[in-house]
Amino acid sequence: MKKVEVDLLLYNGTVLTLVSDQIIENGFIAITGGRIVAIGQRYHDQLQPKEAWDLSSSLVMPGLINAHTHAAMVFFRGLADDLPLMEWLEKYIFPAERKNVNEELVYLGTLLACAEMIRSGTTTFCDMYIFEKEVAQAAKKAGMRAVVGEVLYDFPSPNVKSIDEGLQYTADLAEMWKNDPLIIPAVEPHATYTCSPGLIKRCKELSDVYSIPLIIHLSETESEVKLVKEKHGLTPVFYLDHLGVLSERLIADHCVKVTEDEMELLKRYGVKVVHCPESNMKLASGVAPVPELLAKGVVVGLGTDGCASNNNLDMFQEMDTAAKLHKVYREDPTAMNAISVVKMATINGAKVLGLENDLGSIEVGKKADLIIIDLNKPHLTPLYNHYSQLVYAVNGSDVTGSIIDGRVVMRDGKLTTIDEKIVMKEVRRIARNVSKSVL
């Protein structure tokens, strides 16, 4: 009988599929043309792989999806911490951005972020920043899947001088990357308090023209709610409803201060929510009502937010925090369980980005975005429950391999697409200017 040729065969591993809690012990996954073509138990001798990896004592799972970040902000990691929000923003982050952010910083920062993300198990990230054409190029170079959108405000950014220019830049981005296998363009107005009603409506129109996601920070802090109420007489979610922009393609980041009625509205329109617990904790914004959102059937993904407010891009840490934050906040250890959090970082993250037909679980026909975790370590021994281990014990640094779109981007702890030493050296060089600029 003729054997079936495949590009890559992973065998002898524990396969966490994220399909109705299915875990395959001693399983294999066959990959061809960037997609999963077969899954099963034990070595499949009818397959003829070009390359085969023995995954004994490792676990393979869908790559993690960081559903909200500002990747290039790794440049501002630790620049200013432990300050009140407005002082932090106005005295440090905004001036540092005004004086330093250019194409080179964004490209290098994103490459550094990609190295950190690949190393800690993320295969897809959803980005919002300045000079997103550079973000797209860096993600492409790193071999990472990325949703990219230029941040848009009423006021000029270091990249665009006007609203018209910002929207044109976004349209160019959408044209440039349509049908790309890795890069997905998006329209990204910053927030309700930095964008006029007119800008938000035009963003919605543009996202309709290209059928791409519309992404906004929403109801992140009490002061945002107060501002929007004073200015428009409505709370943020009702305000967006009034503008006619709520839809299944809207991704709302944070949603910390949403009311019961607003949660109903999010559910009714199929709006997607991204939970960023560490950023919300660090900036003391509050605790998002995630158990309530989930109970209502709202799709919730997980994000790290930017490195200035986290200060890392490790989704394993984010999962651990997401589970524990809701427990301590409610004084209820059942408020959030491990499997719900793993889903937030995988299949639900894929749903948030509208990519669930391709990503988020290990199924035949889906894209091969997979990570490998070495379980043969003291802090991961013994192993009774895989989901508990992933959320409460695994660190990002336990990830040893990563495959994105069928391409190996890390093997045995070595990145194949990024020269980290050079990137870190360049980042340190530019960081000296960043540090001088906020003195």
Q: Is there a contact between 66 and 73 (Cβ–Cβ < 8 Å)?
A: no
Which residues lie below 8 Å from residue 179, measured CB to CB, with a gap of 6+? none
Q: Which is nearer to Zn ion, 116 or 305 (CB)?
A: 305
69/235 with CB nearer Zn ion: 69
With a CB cutoff of 8 Å and minimum separation 6, the contacts of 242 are 232, 234
**H or E segment at 312?**
none
Query: How does DSSP assign 317-335, residue by residue?
Result: HHHHHHHHHHHHHHT-TTS
Question: Within a 13 Å sphere around the CA of 202, how many CA atoms are in the beta-carbon half?
Answer: 17
Among the listed residues 109, 102, 107, 104, the one whose alpha carbon sits nearest the alpha carbon of residue 79: 109
Least spacing, CB of residue 180 vs Zn ion, in Å: 24
| Cβ–Cβ under 8 Å, residues 35 and 7 | no
Of 123 and 309, which has the nearer Cβ to Zn ion? Answer: 309
* Cβ 293 to Zn ion shortest distance, Å: 18
Single-letter residue type at 417 = T
Instruction: Give the shortest CB-260-to-Zn ion separation in angstroms.
Output: 24
Residue nearest Zn ion (C-beta atom): 305
Give least dist CB 305 to Zn ion, A: 5
The token pair that represents 141 in the structure block? 């170079």
Nearer to Zn ion (CB atom), residue 53 or residue 129: 129
Nearest approach, Cβ of residue 60 and Zn ion (Å): 30
Q: Which 3-state string (H, E, C) describes 183-206?
A: EEECEEECECCCCCHHHHHHHHHH
Alpha carbons 298 and 264: distance in angstroms, whole number:
9
305 vs 398, which CB is nearer to Zn ion?
A: 305
Q: How far is the CB of 375 from Zn ion (least distance, A)?
A: 33
Nearest distance, CB of residue 121 and Zn ion, angstroms: 20
Q: Which of 138, 136, 93, 146 has its CA nearest to residue 112?
A: 138
Query: Site residues (CB under 5 A) for Zn ion?
Result: 305
Comparison of 71 and 263: residue with beta carbon closer to Zn ion: 71
> Between residues 25 and 90, which has the closer beta carbon with respect to Zn ion?
90
